């Protein structure tokens, strides 16, 4: 069965001279809201959420936690909440966004390798559901905040399982030499520290994450084996029954035709099969399984619209077409050498095709969005739609070159709604301060 992580384009894409997504004409959206413009297709987003829940129906102890770092806005949080997802957060900003969206923090996990005292204080004060403990330093900080508010705090211990997946070097997180989590030799020491020194911390289970944009399946099988073995070992040694495991997320998506990610169903079969096998092998009770998909939830639902501006033909070499965005609204090509599929959204009937490189507007030679793509011959004023930009585009965006951050629109059933306002020039200087001595 094909699932939405195996699509490149949103499920509602249609072409009638102009390009339509969610029943909305992309050229009309560009006129109404301006470009660059992030567009999120609500149906695709909800479909992939339901794909996940259906795929894991055979393991009823499963809880879905959306990895907010992929894209965190109030409207996106409301949609995920309505689909029964909790939230994996990595900063006070993400926690605050979820909280201000009217969502109970009981559904939220706080993760990260250097949580500040302020962040932990805020999370615990507001009733965070789980904290993933990453290091010895934050054990003391958690206990301090828990004591301040007279609370007991439920935690998972984040471990590095020593598993490497074939993904980009910068998005591997489960290998032994990693900044994240306790290595396996440190688990007993942190458990001893908590049970002897910090009675307001309750260890509920283990948390691991093995990477991002993963196309393999065996690494999930191996990860679960490590986690279930550790649950067995900890109960045997300490008499502590751990009843939760969080295996992170990381399932890859299809950005370009050559990408062949496993389907959500294939991943679910491997995970559930490994759980059943190792539960039986180690004779432990079935734990609650937390899964943290992010990219594979939101990426395909998102596109970015740009307006084509200048063009340049290098003699006997590359033809460049330049758009009004680039590395500030999508840093992934310059950071991870990410690849994309795109098309011109307005009517191009009768135009010849040509191979071009899509360049950004920013003052860096590396500001290239797409290398060597075949498109109908572009004209200034055309609207270019770049697919699969829902994850890590807005969330990693910057004000490089002092350019305003882009707006975001949600489309569904031929209706469009602004969910993130475009920054203004006044926004850019609103936090600047000129000292009196310079006036």
Query: Which of 49, 72, 363, 385 is the catalytic position?
Result: 363
Per-residue pLDDT, 366:
93
CA distance 101 to 300: 23
Mean of per-residue pLDDT scores for the chain: 94
Q: Which helix (H) or strand (E) holds 53?
A: helix 42-55
Mark out the alpha helices in 250-317 (DSSP H runs).
264-282, 295-298
Decide if pLDDT at 168 tops 70.
Answer: no
Which is more confidently placed, 121 or 171?
121
Decide if pLDDT at 349 tops 70.
Answer: yes
Per-residue pLDDT, 1:
57
pLDDT in tens, 176-214: 556 778 999 999 999 999 999 999 999 999 999 988 888
CA angle centred on 183, ends 178 and 186, rounded to 5°? 140
Decide if pLDDT at 173 tops 50.
Answer: no
Decide if pLDDT at 330 tops 80.
Answer: yes
Q: Are the C-beta atoms of 95 and 108 separated by less than 8 Å?
A: yes
Decide if pLDDT at 167 tops 80.
Answer: no
Mark out the alpha helices in 198-240 (DSSP H runs).
218-238
What confidence category does residue 163 fall into, taking pLDDT thresholds of 50, 70 and 90?
Answer: confident
Q: Are the C-beta atoms of 8 and 256 separated by less than 8 Å?
A: yes
Per-residue pLDDT, 179:
73
Per-residue pLDDT, 181:
82
When pLDDT is averaged across residues 325-347 and rounded to a whole number, the result is 96
Decide if pLDDT at 136 tops 80.
Answer: yes
49 is catalytic: no
Cβ atoms within 10 A of the Cβ of 200, count?
17
| Residues 196/202/206/212 CA torsion (nearest 10 deg) | -120
Per-residue pLDDT, 199:
96
Kindly list the domain boundaries of the chain, sorted by start residue: 42-298, 302-429
Fold of 42-298: TIM Barrel (3.20.20)
CA distance 232 to 229: 5
Instruction: State the burial class of residue 39 (Cβ atoms within 10 Å of its Cβ: 0-12, 13-18, 19+).
Output: buried
Per-residue pLDDT, 176:
54
How would CATH label the architecture of 302-429?
Beta Barrel (2.40)
Per-residue pLDDT, 351:
96
pLDDT in tens, 236-286: 999 999 999 999 998 999 999 999 999 999 999 999 999 999 999 999 999
In this chain, the answer to whether the domains covering 42-298 and 302-429 adopt an identical fold is no
Per-residue pLDDT, 174:
41
* Weakest-pLDDT range from 31-35, 177-181, 399-403: 177-181
Decide if pLDDT at 172 tops 80.
Answer: no
CA distance 419 to 409: 5
Q: Which helix (H) or strand (E) holds 303?
A: strand 302-313
Per-residue pLDDT, 3:
78
Q: What distance, in Å, lies between the first and last C-alpha atoms of the chain?
A: 66
What confidence category does residue 162 fall into, taking pLDDT thresholds of 50, 70 and 90?
Answer: confident
* Weakest-pLDDT range from 46-50, 183-187, 419-423: 183-187
Per-residue pLDDT, 170:
35
Per-residue pLDDT, 175:
45
Ramachandran angles phi, psi of 217, nearest 5°: -120, -30
Per-residue pLDDT, 189:
95
């Amino acid at each position: 069965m094909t699932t939405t992580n195996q699509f490149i384009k949103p499920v509602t894409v249609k072409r009638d001279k102009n390009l339509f997504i969610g029943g909305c004409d992309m050229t009309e959206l560009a006129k109404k809201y301006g470009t660059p413009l992030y567009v999120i297709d609500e149906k695709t987003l909800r479909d992939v959420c339901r794909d996940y829940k259906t795929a894991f129906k055979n393991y009823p102890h499963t809880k879905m936690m959306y990895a907010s770092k992929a894209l965190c806005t109030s409207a996106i949080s409301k949609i995920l909440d309505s689909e029964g997802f909790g939230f994996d957060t990595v900063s006070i900003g993400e926690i605050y966004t979820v909280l201000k969206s009217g969502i109970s923090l009981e559904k939220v996990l706080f993760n990260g390798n250097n949580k500040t005292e302020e962040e932990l204080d805020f999370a615990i004060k507001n009733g965070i559901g789980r904290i993933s403990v990453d290091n010895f330093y934050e054990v003391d900080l958690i206990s301090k905040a828990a004591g301040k508010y007279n609370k007991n705090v439920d935690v998972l211990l984040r471990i590095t399982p020593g598993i490497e997946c074939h993904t980009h070097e910068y998005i591997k997180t489960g290998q032994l030499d990693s900044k994240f989590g306790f290595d396996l030799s440190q688990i007993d020491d942190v458990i001893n520290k908590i049970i002897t020194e910090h009675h307001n911390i309750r260890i509920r289970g283990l948390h691991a994450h093995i990477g991002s944009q993963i196309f393999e399946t065996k690494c999930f099988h191996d990860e679960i084996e490590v986690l279930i073995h550790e649950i067995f070992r900890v109960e045997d040694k300490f008499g502590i029954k751990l009843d939760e495991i969080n295996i992170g997320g990381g399932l890859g998506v299809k950005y370009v035709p050559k990408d062949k990610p496993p389907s959500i169903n294939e991943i679910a079969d491997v995970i559930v099969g490994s759980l059943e096998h190792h539960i039986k092998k180690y004779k432990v009770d079935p734990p609650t399984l937390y899964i943290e998909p992010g990219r594979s939830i939101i990426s395909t639902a998102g596109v970015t619209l740009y307006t084509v501006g200048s063009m340049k033909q290098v003699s006997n070499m590359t033809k460049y077409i330049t758009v009004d965005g680039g590395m500030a609204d999508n840093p992934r090509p310059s950071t991870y050498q990410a690849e994309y599929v795109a098309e011109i959204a307005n009517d191009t009937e009768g135009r010849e095709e040509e191979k071009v490189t899509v360049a950004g507007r920013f003052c860096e030679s590396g500001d290239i969005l797409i290398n060597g793509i075949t498109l109908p011959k572009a004209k200034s004023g055309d609207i270019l739609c770049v697919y699969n930009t829902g994850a890590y585009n807005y969330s990693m965006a910057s004000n490089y070159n002092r350019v305003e951050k882009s707006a975001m629109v949600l489309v569904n059933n031929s209706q469009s709604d602004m969910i993130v306002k475009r920054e203004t020039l006044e926004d850019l200087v609103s936090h600047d301060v000129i000292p009196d001595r310079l006036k």
